[in-house]
Amino acid sequence: MLEVRGLFKSFGQSEILRGIDLTVEKGDVIAIIGPSGSGKTTLLRCMNYLERADAGQMVFDDVTYDMKLVTKKEILDIRRRTGFVFQNYNLFANKTALKNITEGLTTARKIPAEEARETGLRMLEKVGLAGYEDYYPASLSGGQQQRVAIARAIAPDPEVIYFDEPTSALDPELTKEVLEVMRALAAEGSTMVVVTHEMAFAKNVANKVIFMEGGRIVEAADAETFFAAPAQDRSREFLHGLDY
């Protein structure tokens, strides 16, 4: 369904991504793991064009895009078929929880307000926040904000949802409530690409694992295989001593 080939990205002198190839099938839950600074977040941001790649190709629903020369219109079209969840939530500070969800439906996709509202309320219920529709982000906990952000990302029914370290800013208890929601999404068959440090999530929820280091993919494997018997020495070393 989604394929990235030969993705390169530098910031100034430092090369962040050095040739990434990646395939996402429908229904995949892919965990991207690896040490800090390995390029995981940049990879995800390039895939949604928050960063412009220096080189690379993307095949999305059988259409090929040049990731460097892609047009504004194509980017808009790609983004309208994807969802993105940020590490620090990035809820619209001037909008209520419900409006955060409906904004992308009414403004970007021209869905009638009433229909968008119904979808919004259904999404809030889905992430366990029924009754919170009129709360502004500032009066929600981090876990609640992230769940609203997930509701916002899934409301347009995207083909793939990107998660950029969705629980890294949360304490263990709040992490748990966010992971519950993500687990439920995965169980429904949502296609998800998750940059995460939560090894338990990668092991128990993801079906594929991509281990990155130094801007390259060190190992890409089934989650089960990866955790039971990593093929690369570096993967073994990384997993060794991690508590999960």
Partner 1 sequence: MNERIIHILIDSFPKIILPGIAMTIPLTVIAFSLALIIGLVTAMIQFANVKVLKPLARFYVWVVRGTPLLVQLFVVFYGLPSVGILIDPFPAAVIVFAINEGAYSAETIRSALEAVPAGQLEAGYCAGMTYMQTMRRIVLPQALRTAVPPLSNSVIAMLKDTSLAANITVAEMLMATQRAVSVYYEPLWLYLEVGLIYLLFTTLFTWLQRRLEKRLNRSVKGAQNA
Contact by Cβ (8 Å): 185, 154? yes
Report the residue from 5, 23, 59, 136 that binds partner 1 according to the rule CB under 8 A.
Answer: 136
Helix (H), strand (E) at residue 144: helix 142-154
83 contributes a contact to partner 1 by CB under 8 A: yes
Contact by Cβ (8 Å): 238, 202? no
Rounded Cα gap, residues 84 and 78, in angstroms: 12
CA angle 39, 89, 82 (to 5 degrees): 70
115 contributes a contact to partner 1 by CB under 8 A: no
238 contributes a contact to partner 1 by CB under 8 A: no
Pairing of strands 55-60, 63-66: antiparallel
Residues 167-186, one symbol each (x = binds partner 1 by CB under 8 A, - = not), give --------------------
Report the residue from 7, 153, 195, 209 that binds partner 1 according to the rule CB under 8 A.
Answer: 153
Q: Which stretch binds partner 1 (CB under 8 A): 133-141, 173-181, 197-205, 207-215?
A: 133-141
Rounded Cα gap, residues 154 and 84, in angstroms: 9
Query: Cβ of residue 202: shortest distance to partner 1, in angstroms?
Result: 23
Cβ closest to partner 1, residue 57 vs residue 90: 90
76 contributes a contact to partner 1 by CB under 8 A: yes
Report the residue from 3, 5, 50, 168 that binds partner 1 according to the rule CB under 8 A.
Answer: 50
Query: Cβ of residue 138: shortest distance to partner 1, in angstroms?
Result: 5
Query: Cβ of residue 80: shortest distance to partner 1, in angstroms?
Result: 4
Contact by Cβ (8 Å): 24, 17? no
DSSP secondary structure letter of residue 139: G
163 contributes a contact to partner 1 by CB under 8 A: no
Rounded Cα gap, residues 156 and 39, in angstroms: 28
Query: Cβ of residue 43: shortest distance to partner 1, in angstroms?
Result: 15
Rounded Cα gap, residues 208 and 104, in angstroms: 30
Give the residue carrying structure tokens 């890409």.
220
Q: By the criterion CB under 8 A, which residues form the site for partner 1?
A: 48-50, 76, 79-80, 82-84, 86, 88, 90-96, 103-104, 107-109, 132, 134-136, 138-139, 152-153, 156
